[in-house]
Structure 1
Amino acid sequence: MGTAPYGVRLLVGAAATTLEEARKLPQTILAYPMTVASQAANLVMHVQQNLAELVIKGDETLEQLFPPKDEQPEWATFDEDLESDGPDDAPADTAAATDGERRTEGRFALYSTGEPEPAGATNGKATPAAASGATPSVVDELGYDALTLAQLRARLTSLRVADLEALLAYEEAGRARAPFVTLLANRITRATAK
């Protein structure tokens, strides 16, 4: 068989390609919205990137033409800006820090133990342990006097109700720190409710 003329081959090839594409059309139609959406997103990202590069270049040029002034707004004050000649000039917020004391109130109570006090001499009260001469064994086992509120909270789940009540009585008679008393009382309530 001889070779068909060029025009005939071209038409047959175009018809075969059209037929193949027509068979793929249902799949192409389903994927077309995603293709268009991803191309649009790609275009938007490129535009944003180009805009950001232009803004950065503009900032650099403006800084070279007009160097920035190191001015501080009048309303902005920082700790290092405050000059104090003595403890009377120190702000009230930093008074505790300058005396070397740890903050045990508010948000800092969770991580502080307060200053350890000798047994029997807390808040001017004699503790039951000092009066009877014995500290509850759970206090010594836990090292309770050195625990922070967060450390105590982590250990509470392993204690029995009797131990919790002994710790609560020890705390109330001793330093009587409100966050510790509340934590222990709440744990006792939850443990007895089970």
Structure 2
Amino acid sequence: MKHLPFPLRLAAGIAVTTAERVRELPKHLTELPVTVASQVLQASMRVQQHVTELAIKGDDALSTLRPVEERPSWATFDEEVEPAPGDPAPNGRRESAAFDDPWVAEERALAEDHTDGEFDSPGAPTSAPGGLTDYDDLTLPQLRARLRRLSLSQLEELLAYEREHANRPSFTGMLTRRIGNVRATLDENDAEDLTER
């Protein structure tokens, strides 16, 4: 069989493709609004990405022209809170240890927000474990706010009392960790005193 000329075959292919497209036209017309909307959204997202990239490049370029403030005048930080009276004077190593302790910021905030005796009921007995009145009624955050003011012996007294009475795991765990931290601080301070001599 002899092949038909190429232009004729090409014209037949175009005619068949056109007929197929005409048959699929109703289906494509129903999909057309969704397709157009999706293409518009994609284009707008690309434009937003390009604008953002340009803004970042502009920020980088402008940052070389003016120095960045070490500390903006409007910024305040929780770490700037003054230590409570009776706390040991902070030194470089203890200050860095304070940032390692996740409870420090919370303890400071709670201690500042709540005054001594705020949660005590009137007429409560003055003798209590560790010197804390209504210890049994304190919540975990309320106790945590008071822990910094307690000595090692008061903390040990509280832990013994907690184990003998309610034996709440969250309370015993927190008291045990606090006692360990106080002992480590005392050992470190003793070691520093020996090296200074």
**Max radius of gyration: which structure?**
1
TM-score, normalization: structure 2?
0.41
- TM-score, length-scaled by structure 1: 0.42
